[in-house]
Structure 1
Amino acid sequence: MDIIHVITPGDHFSARTGSAIPTVVHGLASAAAKDEEPVRHAVVVEESTMRPRYESASAIEYHGVPGPSRRDRYLDLARGRLGRPRRAVARYYAPIAEAIRQEAPSIVLTHNAPVVPWLLRDSPHRVVLYAHNELLRTYTRREAARTLAGVAGVVCVSESLAEQTRAALPDRLADLVHVVGNGVDTLQFAPAAGSRREHETSGAPLRIMFVGRMIPEKGADVLIRAAMILGRRDLEFVIVGSQGFDRSAALSPFERELRELAEAGPARVMFEPFVDRPALPALLRSADVLAVPSRWAEPSGLTAGEGLATGLPVIASRVGGIPEVLGPAGGYVEPDDPAALAAALADLADDATLRTRMGAEAREWALAHDWSWAWSNLRGVIQSL
């Protein structure tokens, strides 16, 4: 059984970015390589994408075409409503489908790409839609039924997302939905050697970190507002990330807004632009607490799991699939509530015993939910198809 992964055209199968889907593919393929009878994983990547690439999956290269324009996307939406194929997105993914057709019959895991089962409908490959987000929001049930008619299964990264997906599908397809939660690399992401800094004696401020894209949905502004409410000089807040994957890019309007917000109050807030994945483990080890203040129903936050694996207490929004990632090891607040977040962080700041207990529970939960756990669940789904 060979597995071929389809990622978004133009996405980079490289540690030089923090892109979520390639990270998931790399984690699953790395875990699969440890099996007694390893399963070959390949990933279809556009030939011009970044190198070096992850070595966990072999590359099937293709020559890409320009993506749909905004007008194309609107026309596709209208075509879908009329029961017709979405031609622009089909054209965008056509080179991928053609590259897969040259391969021996395989299991094709098409990540966030509902069009691929339709493009490969007359091929010998068995296609599984792998949903990392709510993909069918703009689809009628009739269109979803036609587009996914030949799909062998649907995998969602959380039960929260699976509920939304089942609701968008006709009963026959809803019965094909499975849940495979994301894992975490517990070797790369691990606690710092020795005990954590003793702030009570060293006088060093407690470091509370946010890691993620600088977009409103991720809620970095919620954390900064919580910092302003606290106004404590024994705490420092480190906001890590950029709008995209280029640390040298000009600041977006939202990023400028964040800096203005931080400058307006007494809190110690520092900004670190995007860091690539090789630098992330050490960065997380420099923190004492991880905050995940998402205001949208994030299906499955990778950074939250990486914080757990690092042995950090994690305070997160109770929304979407985040509680499934953190389980009983996380601390929760309602989304978009700076006051509640400030109170939760204050409790941690004032109780070293609580921090130690939550950090130990975090690491224990992560060890039980690593990429081998995720691959075992996915392998079971595939074998059941």
Structure 2
Amino acid sequence: MRILLCSHWFSPSFGGVETISKILAEEFTRAGATVTVVTNTPGPEEDLVYTVVRQPSHKTLRGLARDSDVILQNLISLRTLISLIPSRKPIVVTHQSWLRRTDGTRGLENYAKLLALRACHNVSISKAIAKSLPVDSVVIGNPFEAKAFEGRRDTPRDRDIVFLGRLVSDKGCDLLLHALAELKPKGLTPSLTVIGDGPEMSTLKALTVQLGLTAQVEFLGAVQEGRGEIVARHRIMAVPSVWAEPFGVVALEGVASGCALVSSSQGGLPDAVGPCGLYFPNGDVKALASALEQVLTDPVLRANLISAGSEHLEKFQPAFIAARYLDLFRGLMAS
């Protein structure tokens, strides 16, 4: 099977789409497919088990499409679709986010993408994304970097709570700090490790001082290597996103590390967290504080949440997710 995997962002850029595309390219190749990745991300030539074509012209892209058996576009791009549709090959679009603006409205580009979906076969990364689309889609969750977290579930825990994510307002790290402040009058002063960087870093550090949490909170900045080892030192991972996350690979990383989860409840996070955490309404600091208190003070509850992790993670292992895509591709090729 010849697969053309279109990923607007790709290595050496670092982010969610890039990581998912890299995992899928590796797993498709491991399963015996011939994979070509096309991307707009510049970068050096690399010795990989698949081919990477960077910043192709429309002519080159059309030729690659004609030579493929199936096309996977990881996150819809109209510019790329224009070159792919004339090939008349099966085109699968994986929807990694909402097809709307951050304020919930839709612009001309969003409507153009929605129209283009009718020429494609659609995959949603969560039930929430599937529900938001005006076309039918297959729900296939995102894989996670399993190797970075294997063997971590029995790591000794000397820290309480970890936050892992980009430091932007949507991710809710400020909400988490306010929740810690809510717990102090109850005599609860759990440690918090913040892993990540972003434009809110200085604001969050100032808020930590303002709330009197400097003895509890440690900011590590961005960590790309060894984050599995760091996360696994914690009892709880908090995912306090204010906006409705489309999915939440970070939650899978927390589960794989042996953490109990405390997560906001909207969007696709329940798909990623599953039975491994407690939920609270997005943006509700008191509900977040209450959920943290329960997991911090009830070791039986915490153990039950953690024990559900192994079975839950099976559905998101890279080889399992790749197999679901390959089954879909074979069905489309046969029809």
Matched, 1:30 2:26: yes
Instruction: Name the count of aligned residue pairs.
Output: 320
Decide whether aligned partners of structure 1 residues 190 and 141 sit closer, same or farther in structure 2, where only a CA change above 3 A counts.
closer
Question: Which of these residues, 113, 116, 119, is aligned with residue 76 of structure 2?
Answer: 113
Cα distance, 1:321 vs structure 2? 0.6
User: CA deviation digits over 1:211-258, x for unaligned, max 9?
Assistant: 111111111111111111112564111111112xxxxxxxx3x32221
Asked if the contact 2:99–2:110 (Cα under 8 Å) also holds between the matched residues in 1, the reply is no
Aligned position for 2:103: none
Give the gaps of 5 or more residues in structure 1: 64-94, 167-173, 198-203, 244-251
Matched, 1:180 2:140: yes
Aligned position for 1:127: 91
Matched, 1:155 2:123: yes
> Structure 2 CA distance, aligned partners of 1:215 and 1:130?
25
SS state of the match for residue 113, structure 1?
coil
Aligned position for 1:227: 180
RMSD across aligned positions (CA): 2.6
Asked if the contact 1:288–1:312 (Cα under 8 Å) also holds between the matched residues in 2, the reply is yes
Aligned position for 1:354: 301
> Structure 2 CA distance, aligned partners of 1:156 and 1:178?
6
> Structure 1 CA distance, aligned partners of 2:126 and 2:19?
16
Decide whether aligned partners of structure 1 residues 287 and 107 sit closer, same or farther in structure 2, where only a CA change above 3 A counts.
same
Map 1:333-372 onto structure 2 (within 5 A).
333-372=280-319
Asked if the contact 1:184–1:366 (Cα under 8 Å) also holds between the matched residues in 2, the reply is no
Map 1:60-99 onto structure 2 (within 5 A).
60-62=53-55, 95=57, 97-99=58-60
- Report the more deviating stretch, 118-127 or 234-243: 118-127
Give the partner amino acid of 2:240: P
User: CA deviation digits over 1:366-385, x for unaligned, max 9?
Assistant: 13431222122222222232
Under a length normalisation based on structure 2, what TM-score does the superposition of the two structures give?
A: 0.86
> Structure 2 CA distance, aligned partners of 1:47 and 1:320?
29
- Report the more deviating stretch, 282-291 or 232-241: 232-241
Cα distance, 1:297 vs structure 2? 1.2
Under a length normalisation based on structure 1, what TM-score does the superposition of the two structures give?
A: 0.75
> Structure 1 CA distance, aligned partners of 2:77 and 2:24?
21
Cα distance, 1:113 vs structure 2? 2.5
Cα distance, 1:56 vs structure 2? 5.6
SS state of the match for residue 272, structure 1?
strand
SS state of the match for residue 382, structure 1?
helix
SS state of the match for residue 94, structure 2?
strand
> Structure 2 CA distance, aligned partners of 1:130 and 1:100?
19
Map 1:185-334 onto structure 2 (within 5 A).
185-192=145-152, 194=154, 196-197=156-157, 206-231=159-184, 234-243=189-198, 252=199, 254-267=200-213, 268-276=216-224, 278-334=225-281
> Structure 1 CA distance, aligned partners of 2:87 and 2:328?
21
Q: Kindly, what percent of the aligned residue pairs are identical?
A: 23
